[in-house]
Structure 1
Amino acid sequence: MATRPFDFHPPVLNREDPEGIEQGVRQLRPLRSSRSKILWPEDPNCNKYDVDFGYHVPLTLLLSFPRSGNSWIRYFIEAATGIYTGSAYYDELLYRTGFRGESAGWYDGTTIVKKTHSPFHVNANDSVIMLVRNPTRACISHFNFKSSKADDIMKFKDILPEQQFFSKKFHLHANGCPTWWREVASAGLRARRLLPIYYEYLREDPIPKLLLILRFLGIEPDEGRLSCLQKHLDGEYKGNQLTIDPYTHKEKLAFANAINFVNTSLQKRGFDPLPDYSLYRN
């Protein structure tokens, strides 16, 4: 069994009992505690909605290759549920910019989902929301994000000079992307409960995909929260969409093989095929 980041197992609610989950996630969450965060403080019609830590929340993984929209979808989930999201890693930048669940332990039951980019954090009995993005675009975005010198929220919006994507450093980075992307998806497909979310469809129409996530989590939608979220969809974490194509023929072939493998595996398990990535420039 894969090693987890923390080694504490609190009691959790029965995943098959939506009423139990509802009580654990919503009714037992403290309202406006000292650790809560107001979601939209400048909006007089929406500033009543906050986010806080939960209590005995069942463990659900939010699995993705880096830069597949993970931080953006965490914003959606926090806004819709009122519960902080957590992570397998402590990212100081994310903590400073509002993701206070970064500080929560893996098994402490206080966050609604736990982000990970590692296939080794996924076990067969897990519940997993898997965010899947075109790996060629995610790989570029990941390199851009890692290479940015910004140390604040602008790191999500920063764009490198174009020539850096044709450098040796970029191609060394790109060489490992297809295998990592395929291994992340393969790990998710081994999970007992799995909800794949395709980033390209999420970007086109976020709320229906968010409703699928809420159903998977066993949470009744809050129409007021969703109405306010509809007004503030971009949030602070939606990155710029890069359209550059710096890949060699060999790199493109490796990505195509990974995409075909994952697409076939998804359909074998009964899920929808991946989007036709040729229709998307970013």
Structure 2
Amino acid sequence: MKLSIFLSLAGYGSQAQERCGKIQFGKPSQFAPVSLSSFPGSGNTWARYLIEEYTGYYTGSVYHDGKLYRGGFKGEKEEWREGRVVITKTHTFRPEYDPLTDAVILIRNPYDCFLSEFNRITSGSDHTGKASNADFMDAKWVERDFSKLASRWLRLYTNLLKSGNDILPIIYEEMKADPKMEMKKIVKFLDVHTDYESKYDCLFGDNSLRFKRSSYREYDPYLYIDQERLKPVNKAIMELSALLNSTHGIELPITYQRDLF
């Protein structure tokens, strides 16, 4: 499988490189039904790339995204209940509908999540696309219901943390800063053993960074928003941080909070 195929579809063009190693499916029922749960815009695609390269096994999804499948995520259309994918992407938690209960939960600053998802939607569901300044000045951004978004963000992780299932919280910003450490946690949680150390130089170099949408821009889209409408987001951050502290002894980075004026 050529990494260049995915990168070309994702808009990386000539920067494409090959995969760091062979990716394969497991045997039927080899893997337990574990989810990679996250709010949209949390870096799930990049995390899946790291997990696939690190473990050597395909990840799955409940969404069957054709673009990701064509781009190289061959587990995207796999029936995850067969147990051949090492972990399965989902953005919801509905244990009454499926057995994806144990989970690696990927948590990212909600302000960045909302921004990333807006980029994706505005750029035509491109997992690496970006909205323009004009898009952020439009009512579709300026008048977004951030209170509702914050409530959904908080509810997803709260339900997972209070579910009584085995949960591994992964902070996106910590994974970005030290991907090796976070991948070791995930591999241990999934109980997968592969020769991943031989991939270090390739996996944690510039290669993996090309699977992330660039967050750099010369302006702050949130300054176009009435700051009063962002207070529920700060409140949701504090509530989730307190819950994480009580359940796993960790807290969200203080940088999640915005100074509102």
TM-score normalised according to structure 1 size? 0.76
Q: In structure 1, what is the equivalent of residue 171 of structure 2?
A: 198
What is the deviation of 1:202? 1.0
Evaluate the alpha carbon distance shift between residue 242 and residue 143 of structure 1 in structure 2; reply closer, same or farther with a 3 A threshold: farther
Q: In structure 2, what is the equivalent of residue 168 of structure 1?
A: 139
**1:134-145 alignment, distance < 5 Å:** 134-145=109-120
Give ranges in structure 1 of 5+ residues lacking alignment.
Answer: 1-36
Q: In structure 2, what is the equivalent of residue 93 of structure 1?
A: 67
CA distance in 2, matches of 1:91, 1:125: 18
CA distance in 2, matches of 1:136, 1:48: 32
Q: In structure 2, what is the equivalent of residue 3 of structure 1?
A: none
CA distance in 2, matches of 1:113, 1:48: 19
Which of residues 14, 18, 21 is equivalent to 1:49? 21
Farther-moved stretch of structure 1 (47-56 vs 136-145):
47-56
Say which SS state the counterpart of residue 144 (structure 2) adopts: helix
Q: Does 2:190 match 1:212?
A: no
Say which SS state the counterpart of residue 98 (structure 1) adopts: coil
CA distance in 1, matches of 2:103, 2:168: 6
Q: Does 2:248 match 1:270?
A: yes
Say which SS state the counterpart of residue 248 (structure 2) adopts: coil
Q: In structure 2, what is the equivalent of residue 258 of structure 1?
A: 236
What is the deviation of 1:172? 2.7
CA distance in 1, matches of 2:226, 2:99: 36
Note the alpha carbon deviations across 1:74-109, whole angstroms, 9 max, x for none: 000000111110011111111111111110113111
What is the deviation of 1:116? 0.5
CA distance in 2, matches of 1:158, 1:47: 22
Give ranges in structure 2 of 5+ residues lacking alignment.
Answer: 6-17
Contact 1:38 1:50 in 2 (8 A): no
Note the alpha carbon deviations across 1:205-227, whole angstroms, 9 max, x for none: 11111111111111235211334
Q: In structure 2, what is the equivalent of residue 249 of structure 1?
A: 227
Q: In structure 2, what is the equivalent of residue 11 of structure 1?
A: none
CA distance in 2, matches of 1:278, 1:196: 16
Note the alpha carbon deviations across 1:226-267, whole angstroms, 9 max, x for none: 343123442542111155224322332110111111111111
Q: In structure 1, what is the equivalent of residue 76 of structure 2?
A: 102
Calculate the aligned-residue CA RMSD, in Å. Answer: 2.8
Q: In structure 1, what is the equivalent of residue 11 of structure 2?
A: none
The sequence identity of aligned pairs, in percent, is: 28
Farther-moved stretch of structure 1 (87-96 vs 212-221):
212-221
Say which SS state the counterpart of residue 252 (structure 2) adopts: coil
Say which SS state the counterpart of residue 80 (structure 2) adopts: coil
Which of residues 114, 121, 131 is equivalent to 1:146? 121
Note the alpha carbon deviations across 1:120-158, whole angstroms, 9 max, x for none: 258898321000001011101101111103x7xxx3332
Q: In structure 2, what is the equivalent of residue 115 of structure 1?
A: 89
What is the deviation of 1:279? 8.4
Say which SS state the counterpart of residue 107 (structure 1) adopts: helix
**1:6-45 alignment, distance < 5 Å:** 37=1
Contact 1:62 1:129 in 2 (8 A): yes
Say which SS state the counterpart of residue 46 (structure 2) adopts: helix
CA distance in 2, matches of 1:257, 1:221: 41
Q: In structure 2, what is the equivalent of residue 183 of structure 1?
A: 155
What is the deviation of 1:187? 2.1
CA distance in 2, matches of 1:226, 1:82: 13
What is the deviation of 1:270? 2.7
Say which SS state the counterpart of residue 153 (structure 2) adopts: helix
